[in-house]
Amino acid sequence: MTQNVRILAIETSCDETSVSVIDNGTQLISNSVLSQIDSHKRFGGVVPEVASRHHVENMTLMIEDALQNASCTMDDIDAIAVTQGPGLIGALLVGVNAAKALAFAHQKPLIPVHHIAGHVYANQLEGTLTFPLIALIVSGGHTELVYMKDHLDFEIIGETRDDAVGEAYDKVARTIGLPYPGGPHVDRLAQEGEDTYAFPRVWLETDSYDFSFSGLKSAVINKLHNLKQKGETPIPQNVATSFQNSVVEVLVGKAIKACEAYQVNQLIVAGGVASNHGLRSALLKATSDRGITLTIPKASLCTDNAAMIGAAAYHIYQKGIVADLDLNGKSQMDIEMYRS
């Protein structure tokens, strides 16, 4: 294995077309991200077919942009990494095919990457990972607590039994009339309101690290419905604060409990919801009270980007995992796949 590994990484699993150039999984050279949010907004959510078409339009532009920003050419690249899944299959296929074409044309190794492994490794661009650690994964499609004894050794110790936390944010946002994606809007309103609606905290069984958010989501919808029936107007800021407090209390409570039970000194946070202000400050307080090191990527690396895919790809490549040119996208993938 060469000492210095420069990876060109591609991410197209949902509604961001992104290409990054990164050295040794830690030194970010360039990270080009083109969000399609403005296009999907009018539909209130991501339309898979529209996403695929935008990826096709933008893929080569983003490859050129990332190389240009890194002041290098394909000759300087050692390997190509790509998100294989999970995600929208049509969207994934655009990235996978672009990566295969580059790998074939330039005779470079092809590294397949699990999207959520990428989210976890965004933390490597923020600080050092010291094992064992606990990763709290909070994205639009995933809510998991993962114990990691070593690189890529993802052991799921808890997961959502229904909605992912980002999904709950987006649904609550829609109920209070906020645009897609609702998470950042609810977050913003939550900073201006008060916790007046006393929504439930769903802890499940005492020994469980699992989550459930569908009951909370229904509680919010029912509350708004009841107020409307009584002719009362809900205060959106207070709805947002009350909802966010319930989510954050459970996420932080379970993450801290896991850190203590598994005797780890570092908690890392991954996924779009990791940029939530309420979650970040509650985690900061809870970890500093207990001497646990908290690492959270900066906001631009919490949502989908290729830099995180390149960061994870470095370790996947070190493990000797490379794909053939028959690599296919996968809408579902198990994050425990890298455990040996």
Binding site as annotated, residues: 115, 119, 137-141, 170, 183, 187, 276, 304
Residue 140 Cβ, how far from ligand KG4 at the closest point, in Å? 3
Comparing CA positions, the residue from 146, 124, 105, 122 lying closest to residue 11 is: 122
Q: Which residues make up the interface to ligand KG4 (CB under 6 A)?
A: 14, 119, 139-141, 166, 169-170, 181-184, 187, 271-273, 275-276, 303-304
Question: What interhelical angle do 214-229 and 236-261 show, nearest 10?
Answer: 160
Strand, helix or coil at 306?
Answer: helix
283 binds, among Zn ion, ligand KG4, none (CB under 5 to 8 A by kind): none
Taking the CA atoms of residue 338, residue 163, residue 10 and residue 304 in that order, the dihedral angle to the nearest 10 degrees is -120
- Binding residue ranges for substrate: 137-141, 170, 183, 187, 276
**Shortest CB 310 distance to ligand KG4, Å:** 16
| For ligand KG4, the closer CB: 5 or 164 | 164
Q: Are 172 and 217 in contact (CB under 8 A)?
A: yes
Question: Is residue 11 a contact partner of residue 118, using CB atoms and an 8 Å limit?
Answer: yes
Residue 182 interacts with which of Zn ion, ligand KG4, none, CB < 5 to 8 Å by class:
ligand KG4
Could you give the CA distance from residue 324 to residue 332 in angstroms, rounded to a whole number?
Answer: 19
* Token output for 130: 């010291």
C-alpha span between 98 and 309 (Å, rounded): 15
166 binds, among Zn ion, ligand KG4, none (CB under 5 to 8 A by kind): ligand KG4
Rounded Cα–Cα distance for residues 273 and 51 (Å):
21
- Least CB distance to Zn ion at residue 195 (A): 29
The rounded distance, in Å, linking the Cα atoms of 215 and 254 is 18
**Minimal distance, residue 152 CB to Zn ion, in Å:** 18
Binds 40, which of ligand KG4, Zn ion, none (CB < 5 to 8 A, cut-off by type)?
Answer: none
Phi, then psi, of 85 in degrees rounded to 5? 170, 180
Site string for Zn ion, 160-199 (x = CB under 5 A): ----------------------------------------
One residue of 94, 248, 304, 315 binding Zn ion per CB under 5 A: 304
Picked from ligand KG4, Zn ion, none, the partner binding residue 172 (CB below 5 to 8 A depending on kind) is: none
Give, as ranges, the residues between 123 and 162 that touch Zn ion (CB under 5 A): 139
- Where do we find the tokens 């050129």? 64
Chain residues binding Zn ion by CB under 5 A are 139, 304
